[in-house]
Structure 1
Amino acid sequence: MGSASSTSSASSSGAGKRTGGAGATNQQSGRNRSGAEGGDASDGPQSPLSEDGRPSEKPASPAGEPGSDQASPLPDFDPLAPYRGAVRRFFTVWRHVAGLLMGGHIAYVRSLPEVQKTGLRSIGKRMLATILKPFVRSDLRGLPFPQQLRRRLEILGPTFTKLGQIMTIREDLLPKAVTQELDSLMDRLPAIPFEQVQKIIERELGDSVDVLFQTIDPDPLAAASIAQVHRATTHDGDDVVVKVIKPGIRDVVTSDLKLLEFFGGFLQWLLPRYQPKQIIEEFSAYTKREVDFDYEADHAEIFSANFRDVPGIVFPDVYRELSTADVLTMEYLGGLRPNSQAAFELSEAERERVVDLGASAIIRMLYKDGFFHADLHAGNLKILPGERPEDLQIGFIDLGMVGRFRADIRRRMLYYYYALVRGDVERAARYLLDMARVGENGDPQGFRRAVSDTARHFLMRSKQGSISLGQVILQSLSLGGRYRIFFPVEMTLMVKALVTFEGVGRTLDPDLDVVAVSRRHVQQIFRERFNPLTLGSEMLSNAPELVDVAMKLPQLLTSGVSYVEESMTDQPPSDPFSGLRSSVIAGSCIIGGVIAAVQGGPLWLSIPLFVLGGGLALWAR
C-alpha cells in the first residue's frame, strides 16, 4: 500500500456515525437578523469561540516580521482580555434563552383556538404577545415553539446541539412534539483539513504519521461537531479507524457547560415541571466523558470483557499504544448496516440470527451486566456475515455514551421487565415505581393505576398483533410528569436501546414477536440470576457484613423484646437470666451459618442455620 500521505480515499459505507458527511455545510451561515435579537458580529465572542460556539479558526494578525523596517508594536495591557469571549458568549446564550421564552409565548397565543381568544385573560395574553413580537427574530417568531427551540440550539453550536440530542430521549419529561422535532437536529460540521488532523495525531502520539501508520486516508470517514474519523492501516496490516477530537472543542464545551449550569437554575425556577436542571446535569456528565476518548476506550474494553464468552457478539479492539484522550485508534468493523439493502438480501436464517443475537446482547447488557450502549441506533450496529448462517456476528461501535444501572436498580429492572412480558401489569407497575423518585405533591398511587392501565391496554393489543415493549415502557415513563414521578436518565436510555432493537428486528423480520423473544432471553437471565452457585457467590461477597450482623443480631433482638416487655408492665423481669441460653444457641446457629457459607459449605446447611438462629433469637426471653 502507499504511504500515509498518499492513500486513496476509502469507502465510507462502514461509517459508524449518525452524523452527515464531511462536506456538510453549516446551515446557519448567512443568518438574517432583525429586531432586538439582531446585531453585528460583536454579538458573539470572537475568540476562542465564534457566536455559534464553535472554535474560531480566524488566524491571528501578524505583529511584524523579522527584518522588516517596521518594528512590532507592544500590545496594550488588557487584564480583561481573557474574559471578553466568555462575557460575549454569556450574553449570546442569554439572548437566545430570552428570545425562546418570548417566542414561545407568541407561538402559544397563536395556537389558541378561537373560542379561547375572548375574555380578559386571553386579551392580556394577546396584548403581551403583540408587545413581545418586535423583540423576537423575524425568521423565528412565526415558527411553532419546537421548531424555534431546534433552530436556536443549532445556532448556538455543538454543545447545545448535543443537549438537544439528550432532550430527545427524555420523553418522560418533555412534550412529544418537542422530542420529535429535536430528532432532526443537525450534528454535523465541515471536516477540518487533514493537515490539522495530522498535527493533532503527531502531537498526541509523539511521532510522524508515516511512522505510526502504514496508511491513513486523508478523507474522513465521518465528521461531527466534536470529532472526525479516518480509516487507517497499522504496520501489522490491521484495518483501524482513528478518531480525532477537533481543535479547541474541549474548551468550547467546558465553557458552554458552565453557562448551561448557570441557566439551569433559572429555568428550573421558571419551568419546574420539565426538570431542566436535571436534564442539564445529566447532559453535562455525559458530555464531559464524550470529549475524553480515554472513557470510550475503557467502555470498549469493559464490553469486550462482559461478552468474552458470548459467541456472535463483538466489540472493536482498542489500540492503547495509538490512543490518548484526544486520539482514539480502534479496530475497524466493516459489515452491513441493519437498514441497508444488503441486509435485506440476507437469508431468512441469517436475519433470524441477527434478531436473536441483538435481543440477547441488549437484554444481557441491561439486566445482567447493568452496563449498556446508550447511543444505540442503526448506524452503530454492524452485521458481519460468515460462511454459514451460524457464523454470522453482530458488532457494536461508537461506544462513547454508555448507561449504568446499580445492582439494586438492575435487579428491579429485571423483575419489572419479566413481569411485563408475563402480563402481570400490577406487579410490573409496583416494580417501576420502586425505581422512581416521588417529587413534591407527587401521586404514586395514581401513577401506579395509570401505568397498570397503560400496560394492560398495550398487552391486550398484543393478542391481535405484535407490540413494542419499548413503547409500553416509554408510555409508562411519560406518565411520570403528570403525577410528579421522576426517573433517572438511564431508564430512558434503556428504552431507547429496546426501541432500537425492536425497530431493527422488525425491519429484518416483519412478523417478529418481541414479547416471545424477550421472554426467552429474560428467562435465561433469571435462571442465571437464581442459580444456587450465583446466590452462594453473592453470599460470600457479603460475608463480612453477614458476620457483623450475626454477631449483633441476638443482642439486638433480645434487647428489643426486653424493651417491649418492660414497656408493657411496671414489674421487672422475674428472671434476669431468662432466655440467655436460647440467645447463646441462636447466636451460635447464625455464626455457624455464616462460617459454613464463607468456607464454601453446602447451602442446605448454612441457610437452615440462619433460619433456626433467627427463630431462637425471637423466642428467647
Structure 2
Amino acid sequence: MFISSKMRTIIKYSLIGGALGSTALSLQRNQYEWDSIGIVRLSRAAITVFKCGVIYKRDLYGKGFDKKSKEYKELKSVCHKRCAEKLLDLCCANRGVYIKVGQHIAALDYLLPSEYVQTMKVLHSNAPTTDIKDIYKVIKEDLKKDPFEIFESIEPEPLGTASLAQVHKCKLKDGTVLAVKVQHPYVQGNSRIDMKTMEYLVKIMSWIFPEFKFQWLVDESKKNIPQELNFAQEGKNAEKIAEMFKNVEWLKIPAVRWDLSTPRVLTMDFLEGGQVNDLKYIKEHDIDPYEISSKLGKLYSEMIFIHGFVHSDPHPGNILVKKNPKGACDIILLDHGLYATLKDEFRINYANLWLSILDRDRKGMRQFSGNLGISGDIYGLFACMVTGRTWDTIVKGIDKESFSKGEKDFVQQHFTGLLPQISTVLENVNRQMLLILKTNDLMRGIEHTLRTSARMGAFKVMSQCCVHSIYRERYRKCQSKVGKLKITLAEIWALLKIRLYYTFLNLSLFIRN
C-alpha cells in the first residue's frame, strides 16, 4: 500500500539475482558457516532497506506535511533515527565491510544527518568482537604454527576491535611484549560479495530517492578496502610514515615484526597510552589538550601539504597520547591500513584553496575549487564542507571567529537540508578529496572533544605548510638561479607576513580580554 510496485520489483529481483549468484562461492570461502554466506547477508541488507523505505514512505512522506513545517522536520528527525538504528543493527550483524562503511558514515559529521552520524559513532570504539578461538585459528593458518608455540601468552580480551580486525596484547617466549592484529576470519571471503551487495542497495535507494547519490561511497570503499585487508601493505605504510617523521621526537609509530606478520596477521611493538578523546586520562596525567591539538594539527598539515601521504583513519581509537619523561606529550599513531597518496597537482590546488579561504579571497576560492572539480557558485558550499564552518564565518575570517557548539549544530542542521547539493559536490569533486574530507571531519571531532576548536595556532601552522608546499613546487619547476632566488625570498616574505599577522591577532585578543 505504502511501497510502490516499482520499489517491490527492484528489491525482489535484486535479492534473487544477487543471492543465487553469490551463495555457492560464499559457502566455500567461509568454510560453510551459514551465518556468513552471501544469501543470508544479502537478505539482511535487503530487508533493512525495505524497512527503511517503509518508514520514510509511510511515516514521513505519507503524512502530507509541508516540507518546510516544524512538524515535518521533527518527524524527519525521528525517521532518520529509526532508520539509522536499523542500519547499525545490520552493520553489527554482517560485520566486516559493513562495519567499515558504517564507520565512514560516522566520520561524515557535516555531510550527513546527525542522527545517522551519532548512531554510527559507536562503531569506532565498540565494533563486534571475534571469539578468541577463531583468532587462534587465523594465527595458526597464517604463521603455520600453533599460537602457543610462538607466544607465551595472548590476552583473550582484545585491546581494540575494528571493522576488519582486532588487536590482542601478547608476550613472546623471551618476555617481549607485543601487539598482534588479527583479521576477522570471514572478512576476506565476504568482502567482494558485500561490496557488490552494497552497490545494488545504493542503486535501489537512488531509484527510490533521486536525491540519494552515494555511489561515490561505494566506489571509495571498493578501492580502499582491499588495501586495508592487506596487512603487509599496512606494515609498509607504518614504516614509510615513521621514516618521513623520523626527526619528530614526539611521534611514535609501532615497529613491525615482519617475522611474525602476514597479509592477515600483523605483529607490532606494544605501545601504551590513552585514547585522544579520553578526557579523564588526559586530566589524570596532566596532559595539555592544546598541546595535543597543536601537535596533531602540525602532523596532519605536514602530511597533507608537504608530503602528500596522509593517514586517513584518525578516529580516536587510532590515536593515543602519553606523557613522556620530559613532561611533554607523545602522539602514538596506530592503524596504518588506509593512506591517501596525493598527487602534486592536487596538493598544490588544495593548499591554494586553503590560503584563499584564510584570506577570504572569493575569486581564489572559486578558481581553486574549479581546479578540484567543483565549478560555478557551488564553490561556497564546497568551502563550507572543507572547513566545517558556515559561509558567514568564512567571510568574517575563520581564524578570527571561534567555533562554538551553536555553530556546529547550525552547520549540521543546515547541511542536511542541502543533501542533493552536497551529493553533487561529492560526485564531482576530485576523488582524492573524499579521504581528505573524511580526515578533516575526524580531526575536527577530536578538537571538539578536546575543546580546542577556537585555537589559532592550527591555522598558523596550516598557513605555513600551505606556503611551503606552493613555493617548493614553484622552486622545483624553476630552471634559472635568479628565479629560484626570487622564489626563496618570496617564500620567506610570505612566512614572515603570516608570523606577523598571527602575532598581531594574538595581541589584539589579549588586549580585548
TM category, shorter: 0.7 to 0.9
Contact kept, 8 Å, 1:286 with 1:401, in 2: the verdict is yes
Are the structure 2 counterparts of residues 100 and 289 from structure 1 closer, same or farther at C-alpha, using a change threshold of 3 Å? same
Are the structure 2 counterparts of residues 235 and 429 from structure 1 closer, same or farther at C-alpha, using a change threshold of 3 Å? farther
Residue in 1 that maps onto 2:74? none
Asked if 1:157 corresponds to 2:94, the answer is yes
Residue in 1 that maps onto 2:471? 530
Q: Give the SS at the match of 1:514.
A: coil
Residue in 2 that maps onto 1:386? 324
Aligned partner (choices 283, 286, 290) of residue 344 of structure 1:
283
Q: Give the SS at the match of 1:229.
A: strand
Are the structure 2 counterparts of residues 178 and 466 from structure 1 closer, same or farther at C-alpha, using a change threshold of 3 Å? same
CA distance in 2, matches of 1:253, 1:290: 11
Tell me the CA shift for residue 425 of structure 1: 4.2
CA distance in 2, matches of 1:313, 1:418: 27
Residue in 2 that maps onto 1:409? 346
- Deviation digits for residues 14-63 of structure 1, max 9, x if unmatched? xxxxxxxxxxxxxxxxxxxxxx99xxxxx99999979xx9987579xxxx
Tell me the CA shift for residue 151 of structure 1: 0.9
Residue in 1 that maps onto 2:481? 603
CA distance in 2, matches of 1:109, 1:605: 63
Q: Give the SS at the match of 2:211.
A: helix
CA distance in 1, matches of 2:67, 2:191: 46
Q: Give the SS at the match of 2:275.
A: coil
Aligned partner (choices 119, 131, 139) of residue 192 of structure 1:
131
Asked if 1:144 corresponds to 2:79, the answer is yes
Contact kept, 8 Å, 1:103 with 1:145, in 2: the verdict is no
Are the structure 2 counterparts of residues 160 and 116 from structure 1 closer, same or farther at C-alpha, using a change threshold of 3 Å? same
CA distance in 2, matches of 1:605, 1:363: 27
Tell me the CA shift for residue 464 of structure 1: 7.3
Q: Give the SS at the match of 1:273.
A: coil
CA distance in 1, matches of 2:476, 2:400: 44
- Name the % identity: 18
Tell me the CA shift for residue 255 of structure 1: 1.8
Structure-1-length-normalised TM-score = 0.61
How many residues are paired up?
Answer: 444
Which letter does structure 2 place at the counterpart of 1:144?
C
CA distance in 2, matches of 1:463, 1:525: 15
CA distance in 1, matches of 2:157, 2:305: 40
Contact kept, 8 Å, 1:216 with 1:232, in 2: the verdict is yes
Tell me the CA shift for residue 245 of structure 1: 1.4
Contact kept, 8 Å, 2:211 with 2:419, in 1: the verdict is no
Tell me the CA shift for residue 98 of structure 1: 3.1
Contact kept, 8 Å, 1:374 with 1:402, in 2: the verdict is yes
Flag structure 2 segments of 5+ consecutive residues without an equivalent. Answer: 1-10, 13-18, 70-76, 385-389, 487-513
Tell me the CA shift for residue 267 of structure 1: 3.9
Tell me the CA shift for residue 112 of structure 1: 4.5
Aligned partner (choices 372, 379, 399) of residue 448 of structure 1:
379
Tell me the CA shift for residue 304 of structure 1: 1.3
CA distance in 2, matches of 1:221, 1:271: 41
Please give the residue correspondences for 1:464-479 in structure 2 after superposition, counting only pairs within 5 Å: 465-467=401-403
Tell me the CA shift for residue 204 of structure 1: 0.9
Q: Give the SS at the match of 2:459.
A: helix
Residue in 2 that maps onto 1:108? 60
Aligned partner (choices 230, 251, 266) of residue 168 of structure 2:
230
Residue in 2 that maps onto 1:519? 460
CA distance in 2, matches of 1:115, 1:416: 35
Residue in 2 that maps onto 1:585? none
Tell me the CA shift for residue 370 of structure 1: 1.9
More helix by share: 2
CA distance in 2, matches of 1:311, 1:457: 36
Are the structure 2 counterparts of residues 501 and 115 from structure 1 closer, same or farther at C-alpha, using a change threshold of 3 Å? closer
Which letter does structure 1 place at the counterpart of 2:86?
R
CA distance in 2, matches of 1:178, 1:297: 32
Which letter does structure 1 place at the counterpart of 2:333?
F
Tell me the CA shift for residue 361 of structure 1: 0.3
CA distance in 2, matches of 1:401, 1:605: 39
CA distance in 2, matches of 1:321, 1:168: 35
Flag structure 1 segments of 5+ consecutive residues without an equivalent. Answer: 1-35, 38-42, 60-83, 118-141, 438-443, 540-596, 609-621
CA distance in 2, matches of 1:495, 1:253: 24
Contact kept, 8 Å, 2:112 with 2:415, in 1: the verdict is no
Are the structure 2 counterparts of residues 284 and 333 from structure 1 closer, same or farther at C-alpha, using a change threshold of 3 Å? same
Structure-2-length-normalised TM-score = 0.72
Residue in 2 that maps onto 1:255? 193
Tell me the CA shift for residue 343 of structure 1: 1.1
CA distance in 2, matches of 1:226, 1:208: 22
Are the structure 2 counterparts of residues 183 and 110 from structure 1 closer, same or farther at C-alpha, using a change threshold of 3 Å? farther
Contact kept, 8 Å, 2:380 with 2:391, in 1: the verdict is no
Tell me the CA shift for residue 301 of structure 1: 1.8
Higher mean displacement: 488-497 or 237-246: 488-497
Asked if 1:179 corresponds to 2:117, the answer is yes
Tell me the CA shift for residue 334 of structure 1: 0.6
Residue in 2 that maps onto 1:431? 368
CA distance in 2, matches of 1:374, 1:248: 24
Please give the residue correspondences for 1:182-331 in structure 2 after superposition, counting only pairs within 5 Å: 182-184=120-122, 188-193=127-132, 195-235=133-173, 237-331=175-269
Tell me the CA shift for residue 220 of structure 1: 2.4
CA distance in 2, matches of 1:111, 1:489: 39
Contact kept, 8 Å, 2:169 with 2:179, in 1: the verdict is yes
Q: Which has the bigger relative contact order, CA under 8 A and spacing at least 6? A: 2
Q: Give the SS at the match of 1:324.
A: coil
Tell me the CA shift for residue 371 of structure 1: 1.9
Residue in 2 that maps onto 1:485? 425
Please give the residue correspondences for 1:55-94 in structure 2 after superposition, counting only pairs within 5 Å: 86-87=38-39, 89-94=41-46
- Deviation digits for residues 381-428 of structure 1, max 9, x if unmatched? 1113222235x3211112223333222111111111122233334423
Are the structure 2 counterparts of residues 255 and 46 from structure 1 closer, same or farther at C-alpha, using a change threshold of 3 Å? closer
Contact kept, 8 Å, 1:426 with 1:452, in 2: the verdict is no
Contact kept, 8 Å, 2:164 with 2:184, in 1: the verdict is yes
CA distance in 2, matches of 1:243, 1:420: 41
- Deviation digits for residues 525-571 of structure 1, max 9, x if unmatched? 5236525xx655456xxxxxxxxxxxxxxxxxxxxxxxxxxxxxxxx
Are the structure 2 counterparts of residues 335 and 525 from structure 1 closer, same or farther at C-alpha, using a change threshold of 3 Å? same
